[in-house]
Structure 1
Amino acid sequence: MLPDKPVNYSILDLAVVGQDISHAKVFENSVELAKEAESLGYKRFWLAEHHNMVSIASSATTVLMGHVAARTAKIRIGSGGIMLPNHSPLLVAEQFGTLGTLFPGRIDMGLGRAPGTDQVTAHAIRSDRMNSVFQFPHEIDEIRKYFKNDNSSTKVRATVAEGVDVPMYILGSSTDSAHVAAEKGLPYVFASHFAPSQLFEAMEIYYNNFQPSEYLEKPYSIAGINVIAANTNEEAEKISTSSLRMMVGVMTGNLDYLQKPVEMNDELRAVRDNPSLQRMLKYAFTGDKQMVKSKTVDFIKQTGVDEVIVASHIYDQKDRLRSFRIFSEIMEEVNCLTV
């Protein structure tokens, strides 16, 4: 049984740094993926903000957004997200106002309140960030005001942002941000690709409490999944060993570069089947086209989301491009049958 409505599909890229792969090559790979995504019908290409992680190169998120936007033509480029407590609302407005002017109708502003790093690094980024965490809803309002046209009498202005069309999205991995997105009438993006436990509760809060706004008449929801698709289940399983070892590093604090894939073995199967990792990877879909399609359709039906955003930690660029091609075929098939 298929979903009852067409569903948009997008990409979340962390500019993951693989073993023996330079940062320059990583950025080149992100551009290549964005171009491919554009040709395959993906709606948006978002870049995440993380810091002090050797395996992630998207730390200067808006800079990389501009780089990718300049090398693509129509796909929406956004932040998934900018971690607002790390930044001044004024500077965020100026940066996104500039991007929105350079690439009109193509820039998305996704905002979250997590640090995107460890607490020591978060303090190094902004020593008063905890005050900003509690001011998250207020700072969202600040940014929205900077984009208004009627700021001529305001003492502090982001003139480059005034009147620029840059849609705002609220990101979350718990129920807190669901309340914020609903109250402010904004689209809501849930990080179920790594924090699935509160997905359904958060979505229920968002839909039940949504207040229409000048930005959005009805709720719009996006949820994250991990996908590794290949020609066979065995091939996908082997490719997934890179991601599996990366996730273990995240959980144990032993962060390293994304490693080359190896044959699945008993030790890695035991790690994969660990209950903690299984909970984190509840929405990690690995396999051939039919396997991934079945799991994706179930996910869309269960959640009722308007859009899925896909993360894929794959070492080899050819394997990564192929995985996203397969996923686009899946979504085209699903959407053709729901029209």
Structure 2
Amino acid sequence: MRKPTPYSILELATIGVNFTPTEVFKNSLTLAQKAEQFGYERFWLAEHHNMKSIASSATSVLIGHIAGGTERIRVGSGGIMLPNHSSLLIAEQFGTLGALYPNRIDLGLGRAPGTDQVTAQAIRPDRMQAVYKFPEELRNIQQYFSTDNQHAKVRAPIAEGVTMPMYILGSSTDSAHLAAKEGLPYVFASHFAPTHLFEALNIYYNTFQPSPYLEKPYTMACINVIAADTDAEAEKISTSLIRMMLGVMTGNIDYVQPPTEMTSELKQILQNPAFQKMLKYAFIGSKETVKQKTKGFLKETGVDEIMVASHIYDPEARVKSFQIFSEVMKEL
């Protein structure tokens, strides 16, 4: 029989109108503590910059905040956008986290900027060179965590010998090739970029090369979930997500807005092909509705683990949505 599929959370720490960053970080920790009770495998923090609606920018700092307030759940990055950073500093940061919270920290690595091009240039002027060096920088981090590095001229002593599972994140086929070649777990961002999901998974499975880190392929895919007691209630809650995604698509990013009744204008926006494409894997509805959609997704993709993002204005409604999804996964 198939083993139960692990389920995890991707947290962007979205900021709702009338919420302060301090409140958002407190709510993120409360969610992580509840997720631990609900049986979630991991709680990952994203990296985004120059977006007033997202508080997850100093990813390593937030990982420490969440790990320090929980006991068992794995906490990690979803992910560190490596071309924005020095591989040595990331090794030091995550080596420190791994020493503070042994066997609980994950390092997910991506190469997207996590922001607009102007901001990306401000973060690191030579960023495009760093993008091309992504595989090399990945191996540098692995070397810094290795005990074999203790005689090197450049070291991250705090990281040497620390267990640090690494994951390749992506939304295109390029990342699939890299994850397969390096023999690392692969995480696909199907919650906002579903177009190449199946092509990327096929590439990863068919070209995977076993490594000291992983014997056989391991895949994760992310979806959006808004679950409530009824389909109608979930639809109303989802109006916050619709407005947020509209802002992303039009370049008019704003704080997450409170939900409203589903209007004809919002329904029209939902019918837009670009919108439908982006939110192909947004499962909105009652427990039974979300269950059937999730069951179909798992059957179609065959992924080993499912990760959930949930952009909900009200913190209590958000916790409830994740609770309902945990019940769905336990029943599946």
TM-score (normalizing by structure 2): 0.99
1:233 corresponds to which of 225, 231, 234: 231
Contact 2:150–2:160 (Cα < 8 Å) also in 1:
no
Shift of 1:273: 1.2
Contact 2:12–2:46 (Cα < 8 Å) also in 1:
yes
Aligned-partner SS, 1:162: coil
Aligned to 1:277: 275
Shift of 1:133: 0.4
> Aligned equivalents of 2:264 and 2:175: distance in 1?
39
> Aligned equivalents of 1:191 and 1:39: distance in 2?
25
Residues 259-286 of structure 1 show CA distances to partners (whole Å, capped at 9, x for unaligned) of 0000001000001111100000000000
Contact 2:180–2:208 (Cα < 8 Å) also in 1:
yes
Aligned-partner SS, 2:122: helix
Aligned to 2:6: 8
Aligned to 2:202: 204
Aligned to 1:127: 125
Matched, 1:288 2:286: yes
> Matched residue pairs, number?
332
| Unaligned segments of structure 1, at least 5 residues | 335-339
Aligned-partner SS, 2:148: coil
Shift of 1:112: 0.1
Aligned-partner SS, 1:314: coil
2:163 corresponds to which of 162, 165, 181: 165
1:90 corresponds to which of 66, 88, 97: 88
Aligned to 1:242: 240
Contact 2:228–2:321 (Cα < 8 Å) also in 1:
yes
> Aligned equivalents of 1:301 and 1:132: distance in 2?
37
Aligned to 2:318: 320
1:19-98 matches, within 5 Å, as 19-98=17-96
Q: In structure 2, what residue type is equivalent to 1:39? A: Q
> Aligned equivalents of 2:137 and 2:295: distance in 1?
37
1:260 corresponds to which of 243, 258, 261: 258
Aligned to 2:300: 302
Shift of 1:145: 0.2
Q: Which runs of 4+ in 1 moved over 3 A?
A: none
Shift of 1:4: 4.2
TM-score (normalizing by structure 1): 0.97
Q: In structure 2, what residue type is equivalent to 1:25? A: E
Shift of 1:152: 2.5
Shift of 1:153: 2.1
Q: In structure 2, what residue type is equivalent to 1:326? A: I
Aligned-partner SS, 2:283: strand
Q: Which moved more, 1:146-155 or 1:68-77?
A: 146-155
Aligned-partner SS, 2:149: coil
1:195 corresponds to which of 193, 196, 204: 193
Q: In structure 1, what residue type is equivalent to 2:235? A: E
> Aligned equivalents of 2:179 and 2:148: distance in 1?
24
Aligned-partner SS, 2:298: helix
Q: In structure 2, what residue type is equivalent to 1:230? A: A
Aligned-residue identity in percent: 67
> Aligned equivalents of 2:48 and 2:151: distance in 1?
37
Aligned-partner SS, 1:115: coil
> Aligned equivalents of 2:269 and 2:190: distance in 1?
20
Q: In structure 1, what residue type is equivalent to 2:248? A: V
1:183 corresponds to which of 181, 184, 203: 181
Shift of 1:168: 0.2
Aligned-partner SS, 1:46: strand
